[in-house]
């Protein structure tokens, strides 16, 4: 009975690991697009480019079909990329909320500047000091006028 249970668990992990890796990869691609300020529809183009590149690069590999299958399994639609970015944003907000609850000291920083088209900008950030004397600086908000 024990060997049957371990066999089933092993089979289940074989199916869930690629799904988990696919989700992590999808999040990383969405994060890259957001960082580079690219439209989320570009994720679909990236997937197509990865397939074309992998088809050539891994031509002599025994597991080429497995690699191409993994790339095909990626969920990189614009809607999915949007959901992934929302997930990242909520995670960052939760981390910031936790930091705000645990700091020992803080300072608020204001920076006013004017961009190239004469739009005034006010950036607000906070610098926090924790009980182990580590520091962390976080962007809070930007206002335009």
Length of the chain: 145
Whole-model pTM: value is 0.67
**Taking 60 as the threshold, does the pLDDT of residue 14 lie above it?**
no
Q: Could you report the per-residue pLDDT of 57-110, keeping only the tens digit for each? A: 999 999 999 999 999 999 999 999 999 999 999 999 999 999 989 999 999 999
Task: Give the dihedral of Cα atoms 87, 90, 92, 98; nearest 10 deg.
Answer: -140
The answer to whether 122 and 112 are in contact (CB under 8 A) is yes
């Amino acid at each position: 009975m024990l060997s049957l249970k371990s066999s089933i668990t092993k089979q289940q992990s074989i199916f869930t690991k690629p799904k988990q890796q696919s989700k992590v990869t999808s999040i990383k691609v969405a994060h890259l697009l957001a960082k580079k300020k690219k439209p989320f529809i570009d994720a679909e183009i990236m997937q197509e480019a990865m397939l074309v590149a992998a088809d050539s690069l891994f031509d002599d590999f025994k597991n080429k079909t497995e690699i191409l299958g993994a790339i095909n399994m990626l969920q990189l639609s614009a809607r999915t990329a949007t959901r992934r970015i929302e997930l990242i944003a909520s995670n960052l907000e939760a981390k910031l909320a936790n930091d705000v609850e645990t700091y020992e000291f803080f300072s608020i920083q204001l920076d006013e500047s004017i961009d190239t088209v004469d739009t005034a900008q006010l950036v607000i950030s906070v610098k926090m000091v924790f009980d182990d004397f580590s520091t962390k600086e976080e962007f809070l908000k930007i206002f335009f006028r």
